[in-house]
């Protein structure tokens, strides 16, 4: 489990510049609600800290949900005689996302352009409702609502969390992901543009490669240590399943 | 925009994959998340974020992530004609703006350009303006080749267009980005190290340990080759210019640690070091960033400018008056200057009439009247009524700013003590590298597991930077402090020369004396003074002005009827006042025009005056001498005390004057000077000859006014101009005393001694720090991280001590 969390953390750090670019500007909705006059510095800091914590809390809940889903998939798979269904699906999905990302970066065009009006409407509702509250509440609410934004990079880790097949482990994966985004968020805030063009140009390639690497790692590292049927695929081979609280069949 | 050209995400600015671009739309997004976030931002009225972000992006682009520039344009005939000057046959000079200078070591390096580019005769760095003045032989090299070489040393040269502040801003920006990446790398590597450490207790599986070690290696390499690259570039440039430079030991330390860590990661055994190395890079960059900012603050011209111009100004915006920092003013702004305030920038009067004192600039003490359309210079004092002024030039571009640009350490020749620091610094780096090799070899024999740690610690902890900073910083601070006391100094060598006593020659008229005639004594009939005052109003002679002023101070403002004035004769004036015939003049003038003998009281007073070298001016009414006025140029009240204080400090004080030798001898006696040091009746060339004798020690200082004593001021070891404004004063001599009187002289001498003391103390502290810390590191008593914390602390302690330098105000 530590190895998984470590690799999630490293992957998250490398890709965290994307998070800064995407979520950083949303901090403006906390510090300057509805385009009004900016908050004083202390209020803005309180709001930003609450936003960070809200994101962490939101990710943890999302991870827990994904882990539960993974557990359900594992249970369902076991009923039809399939082993480690969640982890295989997770690893496969991540590799797929990575490959699609690489193809996009290489210039292969696609006609599929999904829209997520519901997600936008839900986050917008949170922003409107929280505009009149304190910066702390607003930050917390908006931070939690960012999990609703359809971000492919976030989804890579949500799938990883689902692959753990455990609500606790799923939450831990997402907390590790959140921790990995923090250094870049703290350093760059809302200004990814401060980063040099050469670094930014490499980001789509780096993120896709990481998604594939995490997928491969999920499929291999976490399944090699699976000495006997009935043990979950978290790599902790020497701990009996019953003592881990993980799903069994 | 063509779809094949690179575009950035409308929201986050990251590149958008071609596949994601849509034809016929104005906005592109790199992912669905950014599309959603953009919709939210727009919906809630925060589009201004994108304007700001665009500015950031343009700034980032301007600070150079583009291709390496070509400098060929610098050799184009038009550029050469407009931006370079011929200094000698076959030699040209130009100034290049330099980006990327971050510490004192960069100055060393860039000034070694003649070693790197054959044909470069001299290279001098101006730290404050972030520029490089370079002189080269046109036959052997060109400006483009020089710029190319500077670029090869790791700096960004360009024609000097941007101001020093902008260039420093760009360097700061770059350093902040590096610092951010170094911080993220250090933080994450610490987390990995923590995992590995905890794994030792939790029996972490071997593949996991290797994975984490690999991750640590990757993050560490990002840190070393990203932000840490600056040390390797510096070291390589140092190697190329054969200038031992502080980046050399640091780069060696990082390289040794990096290679050892890489080998251990691949072999899967031993320490990986990357957590330490990442933290090192971050701490070293942080220390360097803080140090550079502190250093720049200390050396900033604005500090000197603030000594004569205000820090804040009243800007008029839409009829409203806002108090703003003077630095933020721009040409075209309107400012209000109230009575009694100092004008913050050069400008033109738009509204109001007042009287303005430009003394600090021109030396002219009489206020001049200004009205709409009149020009004002920064530093002038508005005396009577509020004025509204349109700003024409600010800061360094003002008349005062241009004069004060000379007031900085780099403008004059480098002080000997600075050159000594340069020499010691070079040897120091070589010594440190040898000590590190000995440490590495020694520990490899004793305990190979810690050998790399100890060698790295030694290379990191050694800080030639403190040595390099010790002198220039103290000199910068001293010059800034002196400027606040209205003593403007060009060049740090002046301070060093004034710290050791020698011979100090003073001009008499206007330096030791007040420089204008005044009535020192009046004997005889007091009622005649009213008539004398009225008569002398018709003359512009200095003696007449002195008598009018004397009469006015005694209440004789009335206007008796004056007729038949005759001032055509030499030696006096004659006229009819209220019906009486009044004569005022010297003895020969009055003698032939009076009938009776001199009254005894007048005769006695006149004789006393002659003995005191004061000129007697006789007053006769209706053919009888009734009074005598003693007219002379009085000594400044503080002159005797200042001369005494200078003598106490070991200076041989003397007078060089064009006045009659008897007058000079008398003044010398009054001041307690030896007759052998008081020389009168001198022509300017005689003064130069005396100044050149250098018989009293290493320094011969001449104090005089820039106009009459210009040659002697230039011939002296240190010339000190007094009286006239900063404009001509600093033109004639490297030091200008702007405060009235001579008290500034004692202040200057004391300040110079105190500066040299600070320099020596800085030297002692940095040498002691290096000796102790290198010893501790060699014996394995401090680790690399402690070394990284200690290193900036040593530089900062030198900065702190230099900033603590006091420029005491001497009592007059």
* CATH code for position B560: 3.40.1110.10
pLDDT one-digit tens code per residue, B419-451 = 566 567 667 777 888 888 899 899 988 888 888
Residue A241 reports pLDDT greater than 60: no
Instruction: Test A103 with B195 for CB contact under 8 angstroms.
Output: no
Same domain? For B731 and B677 the reply is: yes
Distance from CA of B33 to the nearest CA of A (A): 4
pLDDT for res B810: 45
Percentage above 90 pLDDT, chain B? 5
Nearest CA in chain B to A224: B207
Same domain? For B591 and B723 the reply is: no
Which of chain B's residues have a Cβ under 8 Å away from the Cβ of A101?
Answer: 17
The CATH number of whichever domain residue B358 belongs to comes to 2.70.150.10
What's the structural domain count of chain B?
3
Q: Is B684 within a domain? A: yes
Same domain? For B536 and B620 the reply is: yes
**Tokens linked to B790:** 């200690």
pLDDT for res A114: 65
Instruction: Test B40 with A120 for CB contact under 8 angstroms.
Output: yes
pLDDT for res B418: 57
Mean pLDDT computed over B601-627: 84
Same domain? For B717 and B628 the reply is: no
Domain end call among B367, B397, B427: B397
pLDDT band at B390 (very low <50, low <70, confident <90, very high): very high
* Among B44, B187, B204, beta carbon nearest to A2: B204
Distance from CA of B288 to the nearest CA of A (A): 18
Residue B682 to residue B667: CA distance in whole angstroms: 15
Instruction: Test B188 with A9 for CB contact under 8 angstroms.
Output: yes
Domain end call among B737, B755, B773: B755
Distance from CA of B239 to the nearest CA of A (A): 28
pLDDT one-digit tens code per residue, B89-137 = 888 888 888 877 766 667 767 877 887 788 888 887 776 667 788 889 8
Distance from CA of B97 to the nearest CA of A (A): 22
pLDDT for res B653: 92
pLDDT for res A113: 63
Most A CBs within 10 Å: which of B9, B13, B63, as the mutation test of the A interface? B13
Number of other residues whose CB lies within 10 A of the CB of residue B731: 14
DSSP B191-203: HHHHHHHHHHHTT
Residue B360 to residue B740: CA distance in whole angstroms: 10
Q: What angle do CA B670, B671, B676 make, to 5 degrees?
A: 95
Same domain? For B594 and B672 the reply is: no
Distance from CA of B350 to the nearest CA of A (A): 35
Residue B97 to residue A148: CA distance in whole angstroms: 49
pLDDT one-digit tens code per residue, B567-587 = 766 678 888 888 888 888 888
Residue B506 reports pLDDT greater than 80: yes
Q: Is B562 within a domain? A: yes
Residue B5 reports pLDDT greater than 60: no
Nearest CA in chain A to B212: A6
Domain end call among B397, B421, B453: B397
Residue B65 to residue B218: CA distance in whole angstroms: 23
Same domain? For B594 and B497 the reply is: no
Give the contacts of B665 (CB within 8 A, at least 6 positions apart). Answer: B675, B678, B680
**Tokens linked to B558:** 């009335």
pLDDT for res B68: 45
H-run or E-run covering B737: strand B735-737
Which of chain A's residues have a Cβ under 8 Å away from the Cβ of B25?
Answer: none
pLDDT for res B389: 93
> Annotated catalytic, B659?
no
Same domain? For B618 and B652 the reply is: no
More confident residue, B597 or A3: B597
Q: Is B179 within a domain? A: no
pLDDT band at B482 (very low <50, low <70, confident <90, very high): confident
Task: Report the relative pairing of strands B580-585 and B572-577 from DSSP bridges.
Answer: antiparallel
Same domain? For B601 and B678 the reply is: no
More confident residue, B638 or A249: B638
Residue A188 CA to its chain's centroid (Å): 19
Closest CA to A15 of A218, A202, A207: A207
pLDDT for res B391: 92
Same domain? For B584 and B642 the reply is: no
Instruction: Test B183 with A180 for CB contact under 8 angstroms.
Output: no
Same domain? For B652 and B728 the reply is: yes
Instruction: Test A200 with B215 for CB contact under 8 angstroms.
Output: no
Q: Is B161 within a domain? A: no
Share the mean pLDDT of chain B.
Answer: 77
Residue A243 reports pLDDT greater than 60: no
H-run or E-run covering B376: strand B375-376
Which of chain A's residues have a Cβ under 8 Å away from the Cβ of B18?
Answer: 104, 107, 109
Same domain? For B390 and B498 the reply is: no
pLDDT one-digit tens code per residue, B341-371 = 888 889 999 988 888 887 667 656 567 888 8
Residue B317 to residue A180: CA distance in whole angstroms: 47
Instruction: Test B33 with A123 for CB contact under 8 angstroms.
Output: no
**Of A47-51, A125-129, B13-17, B320-324, the least confident:** B13-17
Task: Report the relative pairing of strands B120-126 and B131-137 from DSSP bridges.
Answer: antiparallel
* Among A29, A33, A184, beta carbon nearest to B40: A29
Same domain? For B390 and B329 the reply is: yes
Coil, strand, or helix at residue B381?
Answer: strand
pLDDT one-digit tens code per residue, B720-746 = 988 666 666 677 788 888 777 788 899
pLDDT one-digit tens code per residue, B27-64 = 777 777 777 777 777 777 666 666 655 544 444 444 44
* Among A2, A18, A184, beta carbon nearest to B195: A2
In three-state form (DSSP H/G/I as H, E/B as E, the rest C), the secondary structure along B684-734 is: HHHHHHHHHCCCCCCCEEEEEECCCCHHHHHHCCEEEEECCCHHHHHHHCC
Q: Is B224 within a domain? A: no
Most confident region among A168-182, B150-164, B782-796 by mean pLDDT? A168-182
Number of other residues whose CB lies within 10 A of the CB of residue B332: 9
pLDDT band at B70 (very low <50, low <70, confident <90, very high): low
pLDDT for res A235: 39
The CATH number of whichever domain residue B695 belongs to comes to 3.40.50.1000
Q: Is B786 within a domain? A: no
Residue B288 reports pLDDT greater than 70: yes
pLDDT band at A239 (very low <50, low <70, confident <90, very high): very low
Q: Which residue has the tokens 């670019």?
A: A21
More confident residue, B127 or A122: A122
Mean pLDDT computed over B591-615: 80
Q: Is B66 within a domain? A: no
Residue A136 reports pLDDT greater than 60: yes
In three-state form (DSSP H/G/I as H, E/B as E, the rest C), the secondary structure along B574-604 is: EEEECCEEEEEECHHHHHCCCCCCCCHHHHH
Which of chain B's residues have a Cβ under 8 Å away from the Cβ of A180?
Answer: 188
Q: Is B372 within a domain? A: yes
Q: Which residue has the tokens 């004793």?
A: B446
H-run or E-run covering B87: strand B84-88
Domain holding B384, by residue range, is: 310-397
Residue B768 reports pLDDT greater than 50: yes
Nearest CA in chain B to A202: B15
Active-site pick, B247, B333, B357, B507: B507
Residue B501 to residue B698: CA distance in whole angstroms: 8
**Tokens linked to B386:** 């509020």
Nearest CA in chain A to B222: A14
Residue A221 reports pLDDT greater than 60: no
Closest CA to B153 of B226, B233, B225: B233
pLDDT for res B307: 59
């Amino acid at each position: 489990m530590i190895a998984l969390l470590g690799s999630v953390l490293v992957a998250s750090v490398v890709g965290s510049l994307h998070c800064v670019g995407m979520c950083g500007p949303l901090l403006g909705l906390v510090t300057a609600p509805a385009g009004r006059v900016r908050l004083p510095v202390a209020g803005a800091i309180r709001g930003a800290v609450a936003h960070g914590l809200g994101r962490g809390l939101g990710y943890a809940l999302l991870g827990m949900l994904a882990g539960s889903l993974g557990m359900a998939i594992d249970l369902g798979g076991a009923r039809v005689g399939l082993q480690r269904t969640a982890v295989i699906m997770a690893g496969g999905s991540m590799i797929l996302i990575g490959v699609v990302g690489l193809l996009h970066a290489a210039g292969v065009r696609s006609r599929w352009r999904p829209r997520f009006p519901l997600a936008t409407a839900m986050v917008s509702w949170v922003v409107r409702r929280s505009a009149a509250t304190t910066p702390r509440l607003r930050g917390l609410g908006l931070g939690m609502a960012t999990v609703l934004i359809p971000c492919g990079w976030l989804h890579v880790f949500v799938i990883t969390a689902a692959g753990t097949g455990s609500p606790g482990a799923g939450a831990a994966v997402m907390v590790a992901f959140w921790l990995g985004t923090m250094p870049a968020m703290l350093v760059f805030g809302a200004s990814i543009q401060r980063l040099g063009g050469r670094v930014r140009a490499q980001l789509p390639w780096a993120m896709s490669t990481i998604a594939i690497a995490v997928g491969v790692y999920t499929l291999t590292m976490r399944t090699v240590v699976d000495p006997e049927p009935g043990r979950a695929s978290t790599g902790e081979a020497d701990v009996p399943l019953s003592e881990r609280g993980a799903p069994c069949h | 925009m063509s779809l094949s050209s690179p575009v950035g995400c409308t929201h986050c600015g990251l590149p958008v994959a071609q596949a994601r671009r849509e034809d016929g739309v104005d906005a592109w997004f790199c992912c669905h998340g950014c599309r959603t976030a953009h919709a939210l931002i727009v919906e809630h009225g925060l589009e201004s974020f994108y304007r700001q972000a665009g500015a950031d992006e343009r700034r980032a682009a301007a600070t150079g992530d583009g291709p390496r520039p070509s400098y060929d344009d610098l050799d184009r005939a038009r550029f050469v004609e407009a931006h370079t000057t011929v200094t000698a046959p076959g030699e040209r000079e130009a100034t290049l703006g330099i980006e990327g200078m971050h510490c004192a070591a960069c100055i060393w390096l860039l000034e070694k350009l003649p070693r790197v580019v054959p044909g470069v005769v001299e290279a001098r760095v101006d730290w404050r303006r972030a520029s490089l003045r370079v002189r080269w032989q046109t036959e052997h090299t060109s400006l483009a080749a020089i710029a190319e070489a500077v670029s090869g040393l790791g700096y960004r040269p360009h024609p000097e267009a941007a101001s020093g502040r902008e260039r420093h801003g760009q360097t700061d920006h770059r350093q902040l980005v590096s610092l951010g990446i170094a911080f993220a790398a250090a933080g994450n590597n610490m987390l990995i190290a923590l995992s590995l450490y905890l794994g030792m207790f939790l029996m972490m599986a071997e593949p996991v340990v290797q994975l984490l070690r690999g991750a640590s290696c990757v993050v560490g390499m990002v840190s070393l080759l990203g932000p840490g690259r600056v040390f390797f570039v510096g070291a390589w440039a140092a190697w190329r210019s054969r200038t031992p430079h502080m980046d050399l030991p640091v780069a060696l330390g990082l390289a040794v640690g990096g290679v050892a860590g890489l080998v251990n990661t691949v072999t899967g055994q031993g320490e990986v070091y990357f957590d330490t190395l990442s933290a090192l890079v971050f701490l070293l960059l942080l220390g360097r960033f803080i140090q550079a900012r502190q250093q720049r603050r200390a050396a900033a011209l604005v500090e000197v400018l603030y000594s004569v111009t205000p820090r804040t100004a009243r800007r008029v915006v839409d009829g409203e008056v806002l108090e703003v920092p003077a630095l933020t003013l721009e040409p075209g702004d309107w400012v209000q200057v109230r009575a009694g305030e100092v004008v913050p920038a050069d400008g033109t009067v738009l509204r109001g009439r007042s009287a303005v004192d430009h003394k600090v600039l021109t030396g002219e003490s009489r206020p001049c009247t200004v009205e709409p359309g009149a020009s004002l210079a920064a530093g002038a004092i508005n005396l009577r009524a509020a004025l509204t002024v349109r700003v024409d030039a600010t800061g360094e571009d003002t008349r005062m700013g241009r004069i004060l640009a000379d007031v900085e350490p780099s403008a004059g020749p480098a002080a000997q003590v600075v050159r000594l620091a340069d020499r010691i610094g070079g040897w120091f780096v070589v010594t440190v590298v040898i000590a590190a090799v000995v440490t590495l070899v020694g520990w490899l024999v004793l305990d190979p597991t810690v050998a790399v740690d100890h060698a790295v610690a030694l290379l990191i902890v050694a800080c030639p930077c403190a040595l390099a900073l010790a002198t220039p910083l103290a000199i910068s601070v001293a010059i800034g402090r002196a400027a606040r006391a209205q003593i403007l100094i060009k060049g740090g060598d002046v301070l060093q020369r004034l710290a050791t006593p020698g011979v100090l020659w003073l001009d008499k008229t206007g330096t030791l004396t007040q420089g204008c005639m005044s009535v020192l004594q009046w004997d005889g009939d007091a009622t005649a003074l009213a008539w004398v005052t009225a008569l002398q109003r018709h003359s512009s002679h200095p003696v007449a002005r002195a008598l009018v002023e004397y009469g006015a101070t005694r209440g004789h403002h009335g206007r008796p009827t004056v007729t038949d004035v005759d001032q055509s004769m030499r030696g006096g004036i004659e006229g009819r006042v209220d019906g009486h015939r009044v004569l005022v003049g010297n003895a020969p003038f009055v003698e032939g025009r009076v009938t009776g003998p001199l009254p005894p009281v007048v005769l006695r007073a006149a004789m006393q005056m002659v003995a005191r070298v004061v000129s007697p001016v006789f007053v006769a009414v209706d053919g009888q001498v009734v009074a005598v006025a003693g007219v002379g140029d009085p000594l400044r009240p503080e002159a005797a005390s200042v001369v005494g204080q200078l003598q106490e400090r070991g200076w041989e004080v003397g007078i060089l004057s064009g006045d009659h030798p008897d007058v000079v001898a008398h003044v010398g006696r009054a001041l307690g000077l030896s007759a052998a040091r008081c020389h009168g009746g001198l022509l300017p060339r005689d003064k130069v000859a005396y100044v050149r004798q250098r018989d009293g020690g290493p320094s011969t200082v001449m104090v005089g006014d820039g106009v009459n004593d210009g040659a002697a001021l230039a011939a002296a070891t240190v010339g000190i101009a007094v009286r006239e404004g900063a404009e001509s004063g600093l033109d004639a001599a490297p030091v200008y005393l702007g405060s009235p009187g001579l008290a500034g002289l004692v202040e200057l001498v004391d300040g110079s001694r105190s500066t040299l003391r600070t320099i020596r103390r800085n030297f002692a502290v940095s040498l002691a720090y290096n000796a102790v810390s290198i010893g501790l590191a060699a014996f394995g008593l401090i680790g690399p991280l402690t070394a990284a914390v200690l290193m900036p602390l040593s530089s900062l302690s030198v900065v702190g001590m230099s900033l603590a330098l006091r420029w005491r105000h001497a009592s007059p």
